[in-house]
Amino acid sequence: MADLALRDGLSRQVDYWWTVYRRTWRSSVVSSFLSPLLYVVAMGVLLGGFVDADPDTLEGAPSYLAFVVPGLVAAHAMQTAVGETTYPVMGLIKWQRVYDSMLATPLQVQHLVASTLGFVAFRLITTCGVYMLVLAPFGVFESWWGPFLAFGAQVLTGMVFAVWVYGFTARLHNEEAFGVLFRLGVFPLFLFSGAFFPVDNLGEVGAWAARITPLWHGVNLSRMFCLDHVTWWVAGVNVLVLVVLLVVGWAWALTGLRKRLVW
Amino acid sequence: MSTAHSPLTSTQALRLLVLRNYLVYRDSWKLFLTGFLEPVLYLFSIGLGVGQLIETFEFNGETIPYAEFVAPAMLAASAFNGALLDSTFNVFFKLKFIKLYDQILATPLTTGDVARAEIVWGQLRGGSYSAAFLLVMLALGLIDSWWAVLALPAALLIGFAFSAVCMALTTYMTSWQDFDKVTLVQVPLFLFSATFFPITAFDGWLRWVVECTPLYRGVVLCRELTTGALSWSSAVSVVYLVLMGLAGLYVVRRRLDALLLT
């Protein structure tokens, strides 16, 4: 039997994901839109009011609000991606066994991975897109084209986390590990990858440790573009790191699901 | 007639139920250990990282560095978060899904025992986090006064007040979707209770509203204790939280009676 083309495999699952989205979008409103906005008001506007704004100590930002906002969106992309690839994916594999039933049709592992990750990409595009639109009136963008590139960087960052966590979940049998992943992985990245303060404040060793993390690359790209304060070679390195991580991570996700469900 | 069937005293019942929780929880020790990290990481990130961008804050007439300002707030907020999660998600799971309380009530134990035991268990867990966090504060030199010894009971009081009230609210929930409403209250309380910035960021009636919220009372109480800047409003905070907890406890018992015994 000839293999199903990737395009056909994806198009056959569109109505499935559309139904999922129609039934669940309401519960994502609070976590996707309201909570991040409250963070912007609390940390950016109110706490920012007490910060001495000096572009030299804020990586070129004229105010703490302008500094913190691009980082918060990138960090939020990570959290959305991790949220979508932990419990929901475990449900598809283990609890509801949706994947098992899909594999009983001509669909194959690569179609399932691509469609699930495609759905995550859709969630990232809508979430980060709305977030950036809401931020526009705060006056934190320094050019008209920067926010579009920043938006691309945020979605790319989210996808890097999506593919790696997907691969992790596909190999996982006891979901208690998610709690540890959140507390030892996601949460420290959220706090220390330069979203809330310049990583230079961590000291030399700390700053370099932060710069190795994937989230920092996303935060840095997002901030440089929003502030129109771009060092192009650094941006090139950031993009390269994220793209390599995305490609390798996708392969890791594929082999993970294939080992779990087929071999 | 033998006395072997006499009902348990409430202390015995409490011991039994707390022991049950301990036995179940023993398997999740990784979650227990990492739970302690959360406030510490916030302290390092916001207190020390963002703190380098901020000069000092004035609090009750004293000038204190930003880290000293944030640390007691993290103590209070972690007691709040822990109590909230324990008494909503866990209690809902036991009440609606595994029907644990139905089973317990088939024994001589009562709904009052259930309510007290859940709260005491939550406090044992939360209290150990608070104690560890206070030691971290001490090691970082963020404690200014001997009054800080009372910050541990203060954190327990915050935990008690929120456990009782949140458990009461959980008895009204019908599905997991209701937990969005929990987040809807949790996040604003956490962010706007003068945790990360002084109350002076708010003006007029808004400030008055914030001063009336329970987490704000807890945050200010902890901050007054660790900096040694006590005032009469400290007593107001204590009375407020005690009354809140007792009211919650009263509702929990009545609701559990209505849900499980009728």
Predicted complex: ipTM over 0.90: no
Q: Calculate ∠ Cα B183-B187-B190, nearest 5°.
A: 135
CB contact under 8 A, A191 and B41: yes
Pick B196's closest partner by Cβ from A42, A187, A188.
A42
Distance from the A25 Cα atom to the nearest Cα atom in chain B, whole angstroms: 12
pLDDT band at A252 (very low <50, low <70, confident <90, very high): very high
Are B186 and B84 in contact by the 8 Å Cβ rule? The answer is yes
Q: How far is CA A128 from CA A102, A153, A156, A249, in A?
A: 30, 10, 11, 22
Q: Give the residue numbers in B contacting A (CB under 8 Å), as ranges.
A: 28, 30-31, 34-35, 37-38, 41-42, 44-46, 48-50, 52-55, 57, 177, 180, 183-184, 187-188, 191-192, 196-198, 201
Greatest mean pLDDT among A54-58, A94-98, A115-119:
A115-119
Residue type, B213: T
Structure tokens given for A123:
């969630």
Distance from the B188 Cα atom to the nearest Cα atom in chain A, whole angstroms: 7
CB contact under 8 A, B184 and A30: yes
Structure tokens given for A143:
């050019």
pLDDT band at B1 (very low <50, low <70, confident <90, very high): very low
Percent above pLDDT 70 for chain B:
98
Q: What is the DSSP string of A106-157?
A: T--HHHHHHHHHHHHHHHHHHHHHHHHHHHGGGT--SSSSHHHHHHHHHHHH
Task: Determine phi and psi for A55, rounding to 5 degrees.
Answer: -55, -25
Distance from the B68 Cα atom to the nearest Cα atom in chain A, whole angstroms: 15
Residues of A in contact with B177 (CB under 8 A): 26-27
Task: Determine phi and psi for B59, rounding to 5 degrees.
Answer: -135, 120
**Rounded mean pLDDT of B228-233?**
87
Q: Give the residue numbers in A contacting B (CB under 8 Å), as ranges.
A: 26-27, 29-31, 34-35, 38-39, 41-43, 46-47, 49-52, 57-58, 64, 176, 179-180, 183-184, 187-188, 191-192, 196-197, 201-202
> Does the pLDDT value for residue B3 go beyond 60?
no
Cβ contacts from A onto B, under 8 A = 94
pLDDT at residue B6 in the model = 61
What is the residue-averaged pLDDT of chain B? 89
The length of chain A in residues reads: 263
Single pTM value for the model: 0.89
Percent above pLDDT 90 for chain A:
80
**Rounded mean pLDDT of A165-183?**
91
**Rounded mean pLDDT of B233-262?**
91
Residues of A in contact with B49 (CB under 8 A): 191-192, 196-197, 201-202
Q: Helix, strand or coil for residue B164?
A: helix
Q: How far apart are CA A76 and CA A58, in angstroms?
A: 20
Task: Determine phi and psi for B63, rounding to 5 degrees.
Answer: -95, 120
Are B125 and B22 in contact by the 8 Å Cβ rule? The answer is no
pLDDT band at A1 (very low <50, low <70, confident <90, very high): low
Percent above pLDDT 70 for chain A:
99
Percent above pLDDT 90 for chain B:
49
> Does the pLDDT value for residue B10 go beyond 90?
no
Structure tokens given for A208:
């370099």
Pick A191's closest partner by Cβ from B45, B52, B192.
B45
Pick B52's closest partner by Cβ from A26, A38, A201.
A201
Task: Determine phi and psi for B235, rounding to 5 degrees.
Answer: -65, -40
Are B260 and B101 in contact by the 8 Å Cβ rule? The answer is yes
pLDDT at residue A226 in the model = 96
Residues of A in contact with B50 (CB under 8 A): 47, 51, 196-197
pLDDT band at B205 (very low <50, low <70, confident <90, very high): very high
Buried/exposed A42-61: b ≥16 CB within 10 Å, e otherwise: bbbbbbbebbebeeebbbbb
For A46, which residue in chain B has the nearest alpha carbon? B201
pLDDT digits (tens, 9 = 90+) for A183-206: 899 999 999 999 999 999 999 999
How many of the other CB atoms lie within 10 Å of CB of A122?
Answer: 15
